[in-house]
Structure 1
């Protein structure tokens, strides 16, 4: 059991479960709904599934935040160019023994997600998933994370033509160094800081930069893969494409309202045809993805729906009438352990929208 406060979830979980070696990999390989139990200090709950899911959601959110030194946003996010602007990469400079052990634990958490089918809200690009799956990286992975760097390395002029010597010498005055995702500057060859890149050596420079950038998180990725393989057999990973691995660990970041509606059950006089239920689905469809994820976390403690093939009775949403009546100011309630939403019979769609938004954005202390 991990006993944690509502903040600092990753480090508390890591220290209790990984740091103390309290949980052996063989325990993590079981296909239980939970890999361990979670209790939140000062918060009541009726079961352990809700706190577990909430803790895993908080862990993922914290893992990608500046509060921890493990991940940094892709360069495309900073530049506002091309794809993957919302993705994160391992921080190249986070390579101390403790940092690498944390990355090992991150890999274990990924394996646990595959075993328990509790998907993780981790926004990571192909460059990460390919290395976890043992797939060779290529230049496209650099383009997908740092388009500006990749574009510069094409050595083209404004018209897209191969650059001339004269134009090269006008535009480029650079040494044999590379700037990594976290801003760390590294030499590409011994004493590279003092070796200028000439027109004749531009292709050598290009190859060295691409190699350095694709391998900048090599140690971190090796630790993550080792942690993953301690929970999921390595031969099994060899049977998966990197896309399949990502899907098994994280599912889809898009909350499909139609899928959720198909897997909702109605109880105690609530019916799919009830006016307030129809209003609820209309409002949820009108929500953006961020608001839909907030709703899922409010109702279930996690931000991603199961894969369509992985739904069970436990992962279907159950809709009940409100225990506190149907007044205009009564907010929806949730029991995250059982994926239960208790919905008042609001008179108007606007009341439904306003109170649902209030519940999912303000009610962080939930009775699990």
Structure 2
């Protein structure tokens, strides 16, 4: 985020809320543990026999592969959940999962983050906007914008035959295939919020020799596609699709 580099990862909404210094709520639990969330909503609306549920004020956790029970309140293992105290139980379970259980890890993460980015900058945004800053916008890939901000290397320029074929092939791709291509080259399947002029460094294509049997490769650290000089639209399309669908061809050169 600090360097303007996109990361193809979706943080849970409750965790992003913590970045922004906001309190977590029961609904946030759905992004962490959907099954537990649904169970608590069921309990909130339950009209049956609570004794049959055999619940108490504890929560099950796993530490280093070992299951254990943690009291939510003092002597919680001896306090049954009833119709009268169920809302307290629901609140304590969600608070434990969203706050207590990850307190040390969250504090360490936010301490490191705040050393790079002033927290008050982040708090200008909501959770959805922060996710877009991290991983790009959920919008269709604009090929005209991408092409306008593409750099070329080796024997390539925008008028070279292989490059002309490349853009013709990509223009025929559906959105899913375009996203695969973008992820193959940049490691992120979404464009930057303000368009490809904000991609750092710019999307780039470099010639990778004349061997048309080779697959395209990529150096995602510099957003570089290494494209052999294919002279056939069919061959270029087949090789490119093979590369982006198999995640093959990554290299560090």
Instruction: Provide the TM-score with structure 2 as the length reference.
Output: 0.75
Shift of 1:320: 4.8
Shift of 1:128: 0.7
After superposing the two structures, state which structure 1 stretch, 190-199 or 357-366, moved more: 357-366
Counterpart check, 1:193 vs 2:77: yes
For residue 263 of structure 1, what is the aligned residue in structure 2?
149
Counterpart check, 1:303 vs 2:185: no
Question: Tell me, which stretches of 5 or more residues in structure 2 are unaligned?
Answer: none
Match of 1:178 among 50, 59, 80: 59
Shift of 1:234: 2.8
Q: Report the CA distance shift for 1:306/1:181 in structure 2 as closer, same or farther (over 3 A).
A: farther
- Residues 308-323 of structure 1 aligned to structure 2 (within 5 Å): 308=194, 311=197, 315-323=201-209
Distance in 2 between the 1:314 and 1:123 partners?
20
Q: Report the CA distance shift for 1:134/1:184 in structure 2 as closer, same or farther (over 3 A).
A: farther
Q: Per-residue displacement from partner, 1:231-277 (whole Å, max 9, x unpaired)?
A: 11233233332333332233247783635345335643426983443
For residue 17 of structure 2, what is the aligned residue in structure 1?
130
For residue 116 of structure 1, what is the aligned residue in structure 2?
3
For residue 120 of structure 2, what is the aligned residue in structure 1?
235
Counterpart check, 1:164 vs 2:164: no
**Matched position secondary structure for 2:70:** strand
Count of residues in Structure 1 that have an aligned counterpart in Structure 2 = 240
Counterpart check, 1:292 vs 2:181: yes
After superposing the two structures, state which structure 1 stretch, 276-285 or 142-151, moved more: 276-285
Question: Tell me, which stretches of 5 or more residues in structure 1 are unaligned?
Answer: 1-113
- Aligned-residue Cα RMSD (Å) equals 3.4
Distance in 2 between the 1:238 and 1:333 partners?
39
